[in-house]
Amino acid sequence: MLDQLGLARTSGSARAALAGHAARLGLAVDHLDGSPARGPAPLAGPVGVTHLDRAGPLLAASWFALRGYDVAWPLEPTRFDLIVTCGAEVLRVRVKTTTSKANGSWVVRISSNRPRGTIVYTPEEVDHFFVVDGDLRCYLIPLRIVGGFQVIYLRRYAAFALPGWLGAA
């Protein structure tokens, strides 16, 4: 087919331009050079919460970065996930995610389990929790509000939901 278009022996730029225009128009071009047809685009899958625990820190970092804050990732294991610079203030943020519900509310564990038992976070370790629930609603909850708790029910912390961010209306 490329022979019929006069592109079989031309530079790659003409072929690339054809492929680019075809992609913009939603036309398949794999058949033009004899390549086998491909399946659905690998990045077109649905959004789900299967990997929410991995995506949580990225969502939190994006939220802060989109507001102009500097975000850093600690290089060594720490009790916080992100360092956020807000003017002269440096905040330590722990990211938590949940896909568990109980009594009509998302439930999130804001403690960690160690061989010695459950350990809660202290003001020397964390300033805020950035929480992402199974509806992709995000919350920014100061430790001073939930300090000492092991588990919280997010329904009680609706005032800390981030409006308009991801799943929130």
User: Both 3 and 76 in a single domain?
Assistant: no
- What pLDDT, in 10s, does the model give residues 96-108? 999 999 999 999 9
- The domain spanning residue 145 has which CATH number? 3.40.1350.10
Instruction: Estimate to the nearest angstrom the gap between the alpha carbon of 64 and the chain centroid.
Output: 12
User: Both 90 and 15 in a single domain?
Assistant: no
Does residue 167 surpass a pLDDT of 60?
Answer: no
User: Both 79 and 114 in a single domain?
Assistant: yes
Does residue 2 surpass a pLDDT of 60?
Answer: no
User: Both 158 and 101 in a single domain?
Assistant: yes
Range of the domain at 1: 1-45
User: If you write DSSP's letter for every residue of 42-58 in order, what string do you get?
Assistant: TT-PPP-STTHHHHHHH
* Residue the block writes with tokens 């939603």: 26
- What pLDDT, in 10s, does the model give residues 5-42? 666 555 667 677 777 777 788 777 766 665 555 666 77
User: Both 1 and 40 in a single domain?
Assistant: yes
- What pLDDT, in 10s, does the model give residues 49-93? 899 999 999 999 999 999 999 999 999 999 999 999 988 999 999
User: Both 80 and 135 in a single domain?
Assistant: yes
Tokens of 138: 């995000």
- What pLDDT, in 10s, does the model give residues 110-140? 999 888 889 999 999 999 999 999 999 999 9
Domain count, the chain: 2
User: Both 59 and 27 in a single domain?
Assistant: no
User: Both 58 and 135 in a single domain?
Assistant: yes
Does residue 169 surpass a pLDDT of 50?
Answer: no
- State whether residue 37 is helix, strand or coil: coil
User: Both 111 and 155 in a single domain?
Assistant: yes
User: Both 60 and 95 in a single domain?
Assistant: yes
User: Both 154 and 92 in a single domain?
Assistant: yes
* More confident of the two residues 35 and 150: 150
